[in-house]
């Protein structure tokens, strides 16, 4: 196959990847037109004919491509039959997740991992198992994802996995393990609101009021928002905290740990 890139790029509907290469191609064509084509009339006609043919073929290809679109799932599934791409499989799984079609979610998440295991698809498959109350399987995939982030020195994804593993130990395992794990992770991410909030939750679960309050105060200092304020006040007033809902993390804790603050970037 003819390749225009030193590093081939393969993703559905990602024309933006070719904007910069096209600048170079247009520059080459401009030099060619100025130096050669302008001096030879017959060559001008030939190049014009070739240009018309190429534009016609591209127009036909665009119409064919538009026919592949009904929604995201139709486009992605069409392309997944042509090319094996783990990102495509993940995107299809995410779209089926929005539709709550969990059988298809599992199918495409699993295929993505089979094609090319990475921190993202392993995390997604672990989250699937956690949602369906299979914590042992969830832990297995979380740990594999975490190990990959260590190999690749990917700090943002490793932080996400650190929070997720802390959650796992807090909800399904020994909270003391959670305290050890989160405290260790805080050495690498001392400014992570999520880890401090999680440490506060675990300490509070262990009836360590002072330690929990101290950690909650640190989380609030790092990111003052409604979620961290609510956490601090519940611990301060010794209120009951609902950690789980239907076998998984309760919605307000999910908001606190995964949606109230952006994870760091690489």
Establish if 7 belongs to a structural domain.
no
Establish if 42 belongs to a structural domain.
yes
Q: What is the CATH number of the domain that holds 181?
A: 1.25.40.10
- % of the chain beyond a pLDDT of 70: 82
Structure tokens at 125: 């498959």
Euclidean distance between CA atoms 243 and 202, whole angstroms: 10
Tens of pLDDT, residue by residue over 56-112, are: 888 887 777 666 666 777 777 767 777 788 888 998 998 888 888 999 999 999 999
Structure tokens at 100: 């709550």
Establish if 51 belongs to a structural domain.
yes
Instruction: Write out the DSSP string of 181-212.
Output: HHHHHHHH-TT-HHHHHHHHHHHHHTT-HHHH
Q: Which residue has the tokens 């209120």?
A: 239
Tens of pLDDT, residue by residue over 149-201, are: 888 777 888 999 999 999 999 999 989 999 999 999 999 999 999 999 999 99
Q: Mean pLDDT over residues 1-17, rounded?
A: 53
Distances (CA, A) of 190 to 57, 202, 265: 56, 17, 15
Residue 266 has pLDDT above 60, yes or no: no
Strand partners of residue 244: 249
Establish if 133 belongs to a structural domain.
no
Which residues does 248 contact at the CB level (< 8 Å), separation at least 6?
130, 131, 133, 171
Contact 89, 80 (CB under 8 A): yes
Q: Which domain range does residue 166 map to? A: 150-258
Nearest to 119 by CA among 149, 91, 159, 139: 149
Tens of pLDDT, residue by residue over 124-137, are: 999 999 988 899 99
Q: Using DSSP, state whether 24 is helix, strand or coil.
A: helix
Establish if 194 belongs to a structural domain.
yes
One domain for residues 154 and 250: yes
Structure tokens at 11: 């993703």
Euclidean distance between CA atoms 8 and 17, whole angstroms: 10
Euclidean distance between CA atoms 9 and 73, whole angstroms: 21
Euclidean distance between CA atoms 94 and 74, whole angstroms: 13
Establish if 113 belongs to a structural domain.
no
Structure tokens at 24: 């170079």
How many domains does the chain fold into?
A: 2
């Amino acid at each position: 196959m003819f390749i225009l890139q030193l590093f081939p790029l393969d993703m559905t509907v990602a024309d933006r990847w070719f904007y910069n290469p096209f600048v170079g191609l247009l520059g080459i064509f401009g030099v060619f037109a100025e130096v050669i084509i302008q001096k030879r009339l017959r060559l001008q006609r030939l190049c014009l004919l070739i240009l018309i043919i190429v534009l016609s073929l591209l127009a036909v290809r665009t119409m064919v491509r538009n026919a592949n679109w009904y929604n995201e799932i139709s486009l992605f599934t069409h392309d997944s039959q042509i090319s094996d791409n783990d990102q495509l499989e993940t995107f299809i799984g995410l779209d089926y997740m929005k539709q709550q079609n969990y059988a298809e979610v599992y199918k495409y998440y699993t295929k993505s991992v089979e094609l090319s295991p990475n921190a993202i698809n392993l995390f997604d498959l672990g989250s699937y198992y956690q949602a369906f109350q299979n914590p042992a399987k969830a832990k297995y995939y979380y740990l594999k994802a975490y190990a990959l982030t260590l190999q690749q020195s990917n700090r943002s994804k490793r932080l996400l996995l650190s929070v997720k593993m802390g959650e796992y130990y807090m909800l399904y395992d020994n909270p003391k393990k959670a305290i050890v794990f989160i405290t260790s992770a805080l050495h690498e991410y001392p400014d992570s609101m999520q880890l401090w909030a999680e440490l506060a939750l675990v300490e509070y679960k262990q009836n360590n009021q002072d330690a929990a309050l101290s950690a909650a105060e640190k989380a609030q200092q790092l990111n003052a928002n409604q979620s961290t304020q609510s956490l601090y006040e519940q611990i301060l007033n010794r209120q009951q905290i609902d950690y789980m809902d239907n076998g998984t993390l309760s919605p307000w804790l999910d908001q606190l740990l995964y949606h109230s603050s952006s994870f760091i970037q690489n």
